[in-house]
Amino acid sequence: MPIDLKNARRIRENVRGAFQADKAFAGCSVAIVDNVMTSGHTVQALAQSLLEAGAREFRVWVVARA
């Protein structure tokens, strides 16, 4: 099923700047768990926040993909 581009743009704008990770993540390996990933914008915004906080790496675990 193709992603609705209008909805994907809305999600991207909605999550921009929505996450702020603490420096406690510096040097850590982090697992991001998402129940349903659609466009991937939420995971991308969270991952960016973790990297900016100094996380060494992250893995994304997804239960379902829409």
CB 25, CB 53: distance < 8 Å = yes
40, burial (CB in 10 Å: exposed 0-12, middle 13-18, buried 19+): middle
Instruction: Provide the residue range defining the domain that includes 57.
Output: 5-65
pLDDT in tens, 14-34: 888 889 999 999 999 999 999
Domain count of the fold of the chain: 1
Does this model's pTM top 0.85? My answer is no
CB-based contacts of 30, cutoff 8 Å, min separation 6: 50, 55, 57, 58, 59
Confidence category of residue 54, pLDDT binned at 50, 70, 90: very high
Q: In this predicted structure, what is the pLDDT of residue 49?
A: 95
Strand partners, 31: 59
Query: Helix or strand or coil: residue 59?
Result: strand
Strands (E), 6-56: 29-37
